[in-house]
Chains A and B, each alone.
Chain A
Amino acid sequence: MADDVRRWSDELARDPASLVFLPLGETLRRQGQLDLALKIAVRGLERHSHNPDAHDLLARIAVDRGELQRAFDEWDMVLRLTPEHVGALKGMAFVRFQQGNSPDAEQYLQRAAERNGGGDAEVTAALANMRAAVRGARDAGRGPRENGAHSDSRTSPPAPRIPLSTSRALFADILGEHEQTALLLDDQGFVLAGIYVDGDGNDVGDEVGAELSGVTDAARRATRHLDIGEWKAIVLETEVAVVTMAPSTGDGLLVVAASKATPLGLVRRVLDRCLERARQWLEAGR
């Protein structure tokens, strides 16, 4: 096993885009080296942001670190990318159960069982165990909590109109398995949809959105004073990335970023497709 870790580490050093970060991160997780595993997974996710296995790995590491909601969000992303992913369904069931939300947990397990045609003994057993636990809790006069982990409605956030995962993965199929990312911002620079993961694995969409949306004010001012009509797009090339921005429905802003290696024309096409997706999504009331 130590040889494997060394071999994979060497390969990753030679080729940072290699997918060996998946077995390497998983092995480190199993060895309890969670910080290192997290670092490996996050670096991998940077280059393979739409790889479901990478999100799955990060979710498992997050569970081991006790970061249940982060794990849930990652598995939710897996499910958006691969709706049949049984591992993600089981993971989400586990998180929801741990959070005291047995009805949701049961639903996820049920879906996992259906995906496998009832042939997954682990899922069947988990479903039976959970139902038994729920019955026991009811018998003891402690009914399962409804609609989330909190029974106190004062502290329970209202159910969002859209699941977080739906908005986060809005552009996933357009972006594909490439080093691209897309954010839809509202007129205040707040993220409406999309995701932007930085080198440390944090979703920095809010920060990126706030910074880049400021550019549009300068763009409006310039086009107005120069009398060249409304601005349609901004392309910003940096040392490491190509960023395109365009106004979206309702004074919003769509930002598509790609690695420097991505041809400019391709980024523009992706921007156009994301704009159309955002328009449909917004007009459908999200």
Chain B
Amino acid sequence: MSSPFAAVLASLTRQRGVRASLVVDENDGIVVDSNLQIGQDGDRVAALAASLYRKARLSAGAAHLGTATFMQLEAERGRICAAGRNDLVLVVVADPAANIGMIRVEMIKAAGGLP
């Protein structure tokens, strides 16, 4: 039986350069659902991305910058994107060459549909 997030995750993973897409519980970093390419450690990605997003969200609030809507971490060999709603975070891990503009639009749209 597929989860309510399966279609969204499949759509994100079809984007060029996307290695993994997950829905994660922000509080404990546990995977709610995921769509991973071979070799991706979903649990590790989920825990780290959720922690990073949570930290960014709380920091933005403390800095009076309002509620975080989207975060992107750019590294030498990859990118982590996250968009949250309530306690859930949509996470994407992508290659440096991925079309991040398109991924961002898809993620923000998809995050709006999270319960």
- Which A residues have a C-beta under 8 Å from some C-beta of B? 198-199, 204, 207-208, 211-212, 214-215, 217-219, 221-223, 225-241, 243, 257
A interface, over-half SS: mixed
Contact: A229 with B75, CB < 8 Å?
yes
Given the known A-B contacts A214-B55, A215-B55, A222-B48, are A234 and B74 also in contact in the complex, defined by CB atoms under 8 Å?
yes
Considering the complex, give the chain B residue whose CB is closest to the CB of A229: B76
Complex: A222 Cα to B75 Cα, angstroms = 10
- Contacting residues of chain B (50-71) with chain A, CB-CB under 8 angstroms: 51-52, 55-56, 59-60, 62-71
Considering the complex, give the chain A residue whose CB is closest to the CB of B76: A229
Q: Which of B48, B49, B73 has the most CB of A within 10 A?
A: B73
Contact: B65 with A241, CB < 8 Å?
yes
Question: Is B24's CB within 8 Å of the partner chain A?
Answer: no
Residues of A within 8 A of B74 (CB): 231-235
* Cβ-neighbour of A207 out of B52, B63, B66, B78 (below 8 A): B63
Contact: A223 with B65, CB < 8 Å?
no
A-B pairs, top 7 by smallest CB distance, nearest first, are: A229-B76, A228-B78, A239-B66, A238-B66, A222-B48, A240-B66, A237-B70
Residues of B within 8 A of A239 (CB): 66-67, 69
- Which B residues have a C-beta under 8 Å from some C-beta of A? 44-45, 48-49, 51-52, 55-56, 59-60, 62-80, 93
Q: Which of B55, B63, B93 has the most CB of A within 10 A?
A: B63
Given the known A-B contacts A211-B59, A226-B44, A241-B66, are A232 and B75 also in contact in the complex, defined by CB atoms under 8 Å?
yes
Complex: A249 Cα to B1 Cα, angstroms = 51
Complex: A243 Cα to B69 Cα, angstroms = 11
* Cβ-neighbour of B68 out of A207, A214, A230, A236 (below 8 A): A236
* A190 to B: closest C-beta gap in Å: 15
Considering the complex, give the chain B residue whose CB is closest to the CB of A232: B74
Contact: A237 with B59, CB < 8 Å?
no
Contact: A222 with B60, CB < 8 Å?
no
Considering the complex, give the chain B residue whose CB is closest to the CB of A208: B63
Contact: B64 with A237, CB < 8 Å?
no
